[in-house]
Amino acid sequence: MADLTTTDGSTVHFDPGAVTAVADHDADTGDAVTTVYGLSAGLYRIGEAVDGFLTRIGVAASFVRLTRLDGTFIWANVKAVQTVRTPLVDEYGPQAQAVVAIGSLTQAVTQTPDEVKQIVNAQGGKL
């Protein structure tokens, strides 16, 4: 069991294996705040740096860093990466090279599908 404290002061206890992704910016607001996905239907904003958080909860080795379309980063739990595909026509802008399903989160990234597959599988994923 692990815990986190949100930026509004709430404490959440959780199974570290439930974390599917962690980002260095909030995708909705653009704010530079660590956001944690997979623990509920939404996300949690925390005051810890991504690397420190993943190391503290003991799962850093299971996460890979991918680049979002705005140049910020998302770390994906390789065990939660379900699919990677090319974007559909007009689904995202031209900088989108791949769309990755990470648990309930769908994320467009600048890496190609082959690059994502290689990155994920190098850390123990099964794409």
Which range marks the domain in which residue 17 is found? 2-122
Answer whether residue 18 is part of any domain: yes
pLDDT band at 95 (very low <50, low <70, confident <90, very high): very high
pTM for the model:
0.96
How distant, in Å, are the alpha carbons of 71, 85, 86 from that of 33? 14, 28, 28
Residue-wise pLDDT for 72-92, tens only, equals 999 999 999 999 999 999 999
Rounded CA gap, 24 and 32, in Å? Answer: 6
Answer whether residue 127 is part of any domain: no
pLDDT at 56: 98
Rounded CA gap, 99 and 108, in Å? Answer: 4
Q: Mean pLDDT score of the chain, rounded to an integer?
A: 97
Residue with tokens 């996460």: 63
pLDDT at 51 over 90: yes
Residue-wise pLDDT for 11-22, tens only, equals 999 999 999 999
Q: Which two tokens stand for residue 31?
A: 């704010």
CB count within 10 Å of CB 104 equals 13
Query: Could you tell me which residues are beta bridge partners of residue 101?
Result: 83, 106
Q: How many domains does the chain have?
A: 1
pLDDT at 41: 85
Query: Could you tell me which residues are beta bridge partners of residue 35?
Result: 23, 45
- Of 57, 24, 56, 60, residue with least CA distance to 43: 24
Answer whether residue 74 is part of any domain: yes
